[in-house]
Amino acid sequence: MSTIPTAPIQIVRKKITTYTFQEKKKKREPISMLTAYDYSTAQILEQAGIDSILVGDSLGMVVLGYETTLPVTMDDMLHHCKAVARGANSPLLIGDMPFMSYQISAQEALRNAGRFLQEAGMDAVKLEGGVARLDAIRLIISAGIPVIGHLGLTPQSVHQLGGFRAQGKLATAGQHLLEEAHLLQDAGCFSIVLEAIPAKLAEHISKKLDIPTIGIGAGAGCDGQVLVTHDMLGLFNRFTPRFVKKYAESHGDLTRAFHEYIKDVENREFPAKEHCIEMKDVEWDKFISLLAKK
């Protein structure tokens, strides 16, 4: 653990709910969301005053090192959701349903969605897709589980989309996205993530919907914004989408810190006196005389 003194920015807030999301949309107050996959990050995000934490299946890429999100399992997600729920309480906690946990049948989708709330302490679930997911979404919501939709670049369909590419750039694709957004709203979603679509289109969809949109690579006209925390911290450096604003250069900073530690160990400069556990002289003398008696 570092001993570098920090001045934490601590904002104590009451619980953010789906109702808060709705209120914020009405008052035109932007909603802030970031991803987290572990206890410490969740704690820091809560202390910083984030509205919502998404335990995204981006976990697969930025934490588990997969090429895509497709290998992520329910067990992976629940494990990390539990850690996040132990670290934060006041933000709205959203668990991302992994590939194949909601596509097979609406019943299976409901059973898996329920696990995010019952076992992992989440407040809501997110799942990708439009019209093809309506039955699953309706059934999940009918059980009292809030659902946030996800349209545009839906990473679980990366192979169908031909890569991680922007969506909705053609007029007909834009029209289709708007229709799907309405279908998700009508099915009862409390919000929709819009990923990698033109800013104009996202703004138009946001204005047409009563529920808030959360943009990632979708411009400033959305009702809220989300980023993958490892991207905005500059921690994940395999690639950085163009729409990411980096708020730190953690990859470089951590590399420097690790180098310094290695150097300190090699030069015997760590641990120093202040990192060592003291033993009183009297106890040490007793210890030596105990040895001498043997």
Catalytic residues: 195
Question: What is the distance between the alpha carbons of residues 54 and 170, in angstroms, rounded to a whole number?
Answer: 29
Question: What is the distance between the alpha carbons of residues 223 and 33, in angstroms, rounded to a whole number?
Answer: 11
Residues 6+ apart with CB under 8 A from 157: 128, 129
- Of 155-194, binders to ligand KIV (CB under 6 A) are 193
Among 97, 140, 201, 216, binds ligand KIV (CB under 6 A): 216
Shortest distance, CB of residue 154 to ligand KIV, whole angstroms? 8
**Position 58 contacts ligand KIV (CB under 6 A):** yes
Question: What is the distance between the alpha carbons of residues 155 and 170, in angstroms, rounded to a whole number?
Answer: 19
Shortest distance, CB of residue 242 to ligand KIV, whole angstroms? 14
Among 110, 194, 228, 233, binds ligand KIV (CB under 6 A): 228
Question: What is the distance between the alpha carbons of residues 100 and 70, in angstroms, rounded to a whole number?
Answer: 9
**Position 56 contacts ligand KIV (CB under 6 A):** yes
What radius of gyration do the chain's Cα atoms show?
23
Q: Which stretch binds ligand KIV (CB under 6 A): 52-60, 173-181, 199-207, 249-257?
A: 52-60
**Position 98 contacts ligand KIV (CB under 6 A):** no
**Position 57 contacts ligand KIV (CB under 6 A):** yes
Residues touching ligand KIV, count (CB under 6 A): 11
Instruction: Residue 253: name the closest of 268, 233, 272 by CA.
Output: 233
Shortest distance, CB of residue 137 to ligand KIV, whole angstroms? 16
Among 96, 123, 180, 223, binds ligand KIV (CB under 6 A): 96
* In contact, 49 and 12? CB cutoff 8 Å: no
**Position 93 contacts ligand KIV (CB under 6 A):** no
* In contact, 79 and 59? CB cutoff 8 Å: no
**Position 250 contacts ligand KIV (CB under 6 A):** no
* In contact, 20 and 51? CB cutoff 8 Å: yes
